[in-house]
Amino acid sequence: MISGMAYKPFQNSKWKKGTRILLSVSVWLCIWQIVYLLVGKDVLFASPVTVAKRLAALCCTGDFWLHTFSSLLGITEGYLLGVLAGILLAVLTACSKWLYALFQPMLGVIKSTPVASFIILALVWMQKSTVPVFISFLMVVPIIWANLTTGIRETDPLLLEMAKAYSFTRRQTLTKIYLPSVLPSLRSALTTAIGFAWKAGIAAEVISTPRNSIGAQLYNAKVYLETADLFAWTVVVVLLSMLFEKLIVRFLTDPPHRRKGAEK
């Protein structure tokens, strides 16, 4: 009886959340359609129906999945490398003020320099296919580093004193003190960084136009005034970025080892 009563509010909350999302999407689709009617030219602005039809047609082709998978692989590679490098830098600079003073100006320059400048420089240094990976990596590192460094430095000193008083090992201090302290900062950094990785990675693809990439398709759609294709590929980028963000949040809030423990 109690379990049934507990399940009903949970089910209602999920239904309400789904209703809000559906309503929000519907409103923005209506705004999109109104803008299309106001513009009145398909070559300048595509309608939601036209974009949906074009996206469905693209999904039925092998080239669509080849381009999508290629971009997905490159941007994910850059993102993961950036996360690892950012974590390593955060740990090193948190342990040494000299290292912090050494790396802080460089990371500040990366954050303030326009992405297009790095893309053009990267085209001089490396092959087209590696430019999106490098740019995604470059945009992710400062975000991870800054958030994680803040989390480490804001660890409660009283907890650290307690760990010393109870003779915690380094591993115990790391797992019981530092990790719970930095986890919120790390979660925020990972979700923010994935959006920057996709935006910067796709921008790099548009400028460098590597073969079999979403960015190259966006560039071709712009050159040949295929507005429906331009909108359709943009929708793909947005959906992939949102999907990755949801997966990261799900993984951090409910990691695999916790799910296995709950199942047992």
Q: What is the pLDDT of residues 38-69, one digit of tens each?
A: 888 888 888 899 999 999 999 999 899 999 99
Q: Please compute the mean of the pLDDT values over residues 186-191 and round it to a whole number.
A: 85
CA pair distance 146, 201, nearest whole angstrom: 20
Angle subtended by helix axes 62-95 and 97-112, to nearest 10: 150
64-105 pLDDT per residue, tens: 999 999 999 999 999 999 999 999 998 888 877 888 888 888
Tell whether 94 is covered by a domain. yes
Tell whether 2 is covered by a domain. yes
Confidence of residue 1 (pLDDT cuts 50, 70, 90): very low
215 and 134 in a common domain: yes
Tell whether 160 is covered by a domain. yes
Tell whether 62 is covered by a domain. yes
156 and 89 in a common domain: yes
187 and 65 in a common domain: yes
Structure confidence at residue 84 (pLDDT): 94
209 and 171 in a common domain: yes
Tell whether 40 is covered by a domain. no
- Of 100, 54, 101, 20, the C-alpha closest to 227 is 54
66 and 152 in a common domain: yes
Structure confidence at residue 2 (pLDDT): 47
24 and 60 in a common domain: no
170 and 66 in a common domain: yes
133 and 19 in a common domain: no
**At which residue do the structure tokens 């290629």 appear?**
70
CA pair distance 49, 116, nearest whole angstrom: 33
How far is the CA of 255 from the CAs of 118, 194, 249, 258, 260, in angstroms?
Answer: 35, 18, 10, 5, 9
61 and 13 in a common domain: no
Range of the domain at 245: 45-263
How far is the CA of 215 from the CAs of 12, 85, 87, 231, in angstroms?
Answer: 41, 25, 29, 12
Mean pLDDT score across all residues of the chain: 82
Structure confidence at residue 76 (pLDDT): 92
CA pair distance 209, 197, nearest whole angstrom: 17
Tell whether 39 is covered by a domain. no
Where is 175: in which H helix or E strand? none
144 and 25 in a common domain: no
Alpha helices in the chain (DSSP H): 2-39, 48-59, 62-95, 97-112, 115-125, 131-153, 157-165, 170-173, 179-208, 214-223, 227-253, 256-263
Structural domain count of the chain: 2
Lowest mean pLDDT among 169-183, 195-209, 215-229: 169-183
66 and 30 in a common domain: no
CATH number of the domain where residue 67 is located: 1.10.3720.10
Tokens of 92: 């090193």
101 and 30 in a common domain: no
Confidence of residue 29 (pLDDT cuts 50, 70, 90): confident
Confidence of residue 205 (pLDDT cuts 50, 70, 90): very high
Tell whether 91 is covered by a domain. yes
The one-letter amino acid code at 217 reads Q
Tell whether 17 is covered by a domain. yes
